[in-house]
Amino acid sequence: MFSPRKTDPFFVALLTIAELVQEAVHYADDFKVVNVADLKEVSIRLKKYEKEGDALIYELTTKLNKSFMTPIEREDILQLSLKMDDILDGIEHFAAHLEMFSLTDIDEYIQMFMENIVKSTDEIVKAVQLLSRKKLIDMREHSTLIKKYEGICDDIFRVSIKQLFINEKDPIRIIQYKDIYEQLEDIADYCQDVANTLETIIMRNA
């Protein structure tokens, strides 16, 4: 099924999307927020990442529609690209809401969420690199780790919500932080969706 001569352009496109997702998430995690202006800067930059991701998805979809043969099921290529794009959309929405709420206080729970989401995107890139090299079975190690990080985020979510209602007395801040925690939990879920799609690809092609 796979040609050993060169990397298929569809795999190149998927890796480009994976690396964009990784770059965007690392950017969000590395940026040190001090004031509201910083939140605006992060939000604008992540919107650019999101638009770049949309353009890559459009290019890939166009190529799929014009191609007679693909290295794996075209539905799997499209699904993997869209699931990775969900992560980009999620991190952009997260930053937009931080800016909308003027939340410069990045607490320990947000930091823990981001730490595990960053790790997940690193594993996504490693897995898609293996896909590009036709090493399908080796991808499973990385999909398993992504699911592990999603499970950690589930635990963080439960603790963060519990502590929020115990310690925060301002109802507006409760609403704001609950929204942020839920968005981060959604991003972790999107990473798990990528892992599930990778495992489907392994099952069908290994």
CATH number at residue 109: 1.20.58.220
- 4 within some domain: no
Instruction: List, for residues 81-130, the tens digit of each pLDDT value.
Output: 999 999 999 999 999 999 999 999 999 999 999 999 999 999 999 999 99
Report the distance separating Cα 29 and Cα 120, nearest Å. Answer: 13
118: nearest Cα among 140, 94, 134: 94
pLDDT value of position 8: 86
Instruction: List, for residues 56-76, the tens digit of each pLDDT value.
Output: 999 999 999 988 888 899 999
- 176 within some domain: yes
- 148 within some domain: yes
- The model's pTM is 0.94
Report the distance separating Cα 24 and Cα 16, nearest Å. Answer: 12
The answer to whether the CB of 12 falls within 8 A of the CB of 78 is no
Domain total for the chain? 1
- 56 within some domain: yes
Q: Examine the pLDDT at 200 and tell me if it is beyond 60.
A: yes
Structure letter (DSSP) for residue 103: -
- 2 within some domain: no
- 108 within some domain: yes
Report the distance separating Cα 78 and Cα 57, nearest Å. Answer: 8
107 lies in which domain range?
Answer: 9-205
